[in-house]
DNA sequence: TAAATAGTGTCTGTAAGACACTATTGA
DNA sequence: TCAATAGTGTCTTACAGACACTATTTA
């Protein structure tokens, strides 16, 4: 401990991104096919090393987001998910990864301007199924990201980040149903989101088509935290006593 | 990006601990007075560099906990709080800190066997008051730790980690009041915690003295998550509409 | 018109908050 | 006995969930 010659070990830092979106009412995550060697050919979360010693973590995450998904910093939620530093997780040495969670509306498919053209949206259920194991410990990171997103939907207005600038209440409901993996009653959902003041606000005189009556359009309101929270059904991992 | 000679920058990793306890019904945090140079003489969270390149993060946190607070890994909650890596936060170079949150019952004061004898329990309000600024960005880390602890009390059974092996409901209530900074109705609190199945279980035939009627003793039960959650009053940062 | 989706009204059960009341101790 | 804390009962209000019902579109 007081060895005058001891020097602390250094590590390599990477930033990895869990980028979620919704497609066909299903939660998708952006994965890339690795073109270089550890885990070459395997699917992995987008990410990479810090560029230089002075690069801050959040900007690095935004840089990766732009490089690998073509997504600018606008309108984009990005939050720290956790740090993954188990020795041996990366065969190249001691590599510690800072994971960030990002959420984006559905994009025009091509991911134009993307550095890694092999980037593709993959259903989360498929990515976690194990049929094509993810590189490194990215399965764990993705699992944690899903759980974090589920929690965020309960207490924050983040669900609107999955939607475009305007959206119907049914579309917002589809977000909750996809992320939580449940079915919700449209009438109760309708009243609930309307009753949370500032969550969503009417947009324009508005209408839109589907197959039935046109729905009003909304945009996300100023409120970022939800009180009372949206309640997730099956939220009862605890009635074992019955 | 494809410069064959580019090598990723390395960083130094530290583990910092936010260790909370309750003393005289007030939330306290363990701080040490720094004996070495950056910020020598200032108060700081306990922590330190990784010992060697193969050391995992959580074990490193436990090691620091033992070295600086004399706390073994038993009965001790320790969870990742976040990562703090702003360039320039440490004058020694690029140092990235992984912060952990720990909670412990009130200890016999001396912190026996502690490596840093200068460790002392400080009221959180005082530590955050700015009258004696903390080293590095530890004020931010501590602020985040407090908020995390507040959230954990809502949805997890973590509050019992502040108490000894057995405790009265009034003692448990004091934990909530101290961490949340609110007053709770003892009768409603009593019924609430009793109604959450498996949160606390009766301990012994039991009694204890204070100044009034003796209280039953409890110990923490098998339940780790609380459903429905404990509701934090003033939980309404959103009724601005009035 | 039927089918489909949007949106409203209303009932019921659960639980939070307020608070009167009883119980059991020490002084 | 009073003061203090432990513990119970009950009322009110709010809200989640269930679901009947109306409204507005396309086919």
Q: Which residues 67 to 106 of B reach strand C, CB within 7 A?
A: none
pLDDT of A119 higher than 70: yes
Query: Coil, helix or strand for A156?
Result: strand
User: A92-106, A190-204, B54-68, B226-240 — which is least confidently predicted?
Assistant: B226-240
Q: How many CA atoms lie within 13 A of A116 on its CB side?
A: 25
Strand C nucleotides, any atom under 7 Å to a protein CB:
3-10, 15-21, 23-26
Protein CA B192 to sugar C1' D9 (Å):
15
Give percent of chain A above pLDDT 90: 75
DSSP state of A223: -
pLDDT value at position A233?
A: 84
Instruction: Judge whether B147 counts as a catalytic residue.
Output: no
Distance in Å, residue B186 CA to nucleotide D5 C1': 10
Both tokens of residue B68? 């600086």
Residue B240: the pLDDT is 33
Tokens 């929690």 label which residue? A151
For residue A160, give both structure tokens: 């609107």
Task: Quickly state the pLDDT bin for A207 (edges 50, 70, 90).
Answer: confident
Please report where in the chains the tokens 């590599």 appear, as a residue.
Answer: A95
Long-range contacts of B28-31 (CB under 8 A, 24+ apart): B28/B121, B28/B122, B28/B123, B28/B124, B29/B121, B29/B122, B29/B124, B29/B127, B29/B142, B29/B145, B30/B68, B30/B69, B30/B119, B30/B120, B30/B121, B30/B122, B31/B119, B31/B120, B31/B121, B31/B122, B31/B127, B31/B134
* Residue B233: per-residue pLDDT: 84
| pLDDT computed for residue B215 by the predictor | 94
Residues in contact with B195: Cβ distance below 8 Å, sequence separation at least 6, in sequence order? none
What are the beta bridge partners of residue A223? Answer: none
CATH code for the domain defined by A12-153: 3.90.79.10
Give the minimum alpha-carbon distance from A200 to chain B in angstroms, rounded to a whole number.
Answer: 14
Please give the DSSP secondary-structure letter assigned to residue B158. G
Q: Establish if A35 touches chain B: CB-CB under 8 angstroms.
A: no
Q: How far apart (Å, rounded) are the C-alpha atoms in residues A150 and A141?
A: 14
Residue B97 has a CB neighbour count (10 Å cut-off) of 23
Over range A117-124, report the average pLDDT.
87
Asked if B92 contacts B38 with a C-beta cutoff of 8 angstroms, the reply is yes
List, for residues A23-66, the tens digit of each pLDDT value.
Answer: 999 999 999 999 888 999 999 999 999 999 999 999 999 999 88
Q: What is the mean pLDDT of residues A87-99?
A: 94
Smallest Cα–Cα separation from B85: which of A104, A55, A209, A43? A55
A24, A33, A118, A240: which is the annotated catalytic residue?
A: A118
Does a cis peptide bond (omega within 30 degrees of 0) precede residue B228?
yes
Question: Does residue A202 approach strand C to less than 7 Å at its CB?
Answer: no
The mean pLDDT value for A138-158 works out to 97
C-beta separation of B53 from B40 below 8 A: no
Confidence at residue A162, expressed as pLDDT on a 0 to 100 scale: 96
Contact between B12 and A12 using a beta-carbon 8 Å cutoff: no
Q: Is the confidence at residue A235, as pLDDT, over 70?
A: no
Which residue does chain B place closest to A96, by CA atoms? B13
Q: Where along chain B do its domains lie?
A: 12-153, 156-220
CATH topology of domain A156-220: Arc Repressor Mutant, subunit A (1.10.10)
Mean pLDDT by 10 residues, chain B (242 residues): 77 96 95 90 94 94 88 81 94 94 82 65 96 95 98 96 95 97 97 95 78 92 92 57 28
pLDDT at A2 over 60: no
Q: Which residues pair with B30 in a beta bridge?
A: B121
């Amino acid at each position: 401990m007081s060895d005058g010659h001891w020097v602390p070990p250094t590590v390599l830092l990477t930033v990895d991104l869990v980028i979620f979106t919704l497609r066909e009412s299903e939660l998708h995550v952006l994965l890339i096919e690795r073109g270089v060697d550890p885990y070459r050919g395997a699917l992995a979360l987008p990410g990479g090393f810090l560029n230089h010693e002075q690069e801050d973590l959040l900007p690095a995450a935004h840089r990766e987001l732009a490089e690998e998904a073509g997504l600018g910093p606008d309108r984009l939620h990005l939050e720290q998910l956790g740090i993954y530093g188990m020795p041996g997780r990366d065969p190249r040495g001691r590599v510690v990864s800072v994971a960030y969670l990002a959420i984006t509306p559905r994009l025009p498919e091509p991911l134009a301007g993307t550095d890694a053209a092999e980037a593709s949206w993959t259903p989360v259920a498929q990515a976690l199924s194990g049929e094509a194991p993810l590189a490194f410990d990215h399965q764990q990171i993705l699992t944690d990201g899903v759980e974090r997103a589920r929690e965020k939907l309960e207490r924050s207005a983040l669900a609107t980040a999955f939607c475009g600038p305007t959206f119907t209440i049914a579309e917002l409901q589809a977000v909750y149903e996809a992320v939580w993996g449940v079915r919700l009653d449209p009438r109760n959902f309708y009243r609930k989101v309307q009753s949370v003041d500032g969550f969503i606000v009417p947009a324009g005189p508005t209408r839109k088509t589907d197959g039935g009556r046109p729905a009003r359009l909304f945009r996300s309101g100023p409120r970022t935290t939800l009180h009372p929270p949206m309640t997730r059904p099956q939220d009862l991992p605890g009635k074992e006593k019955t």
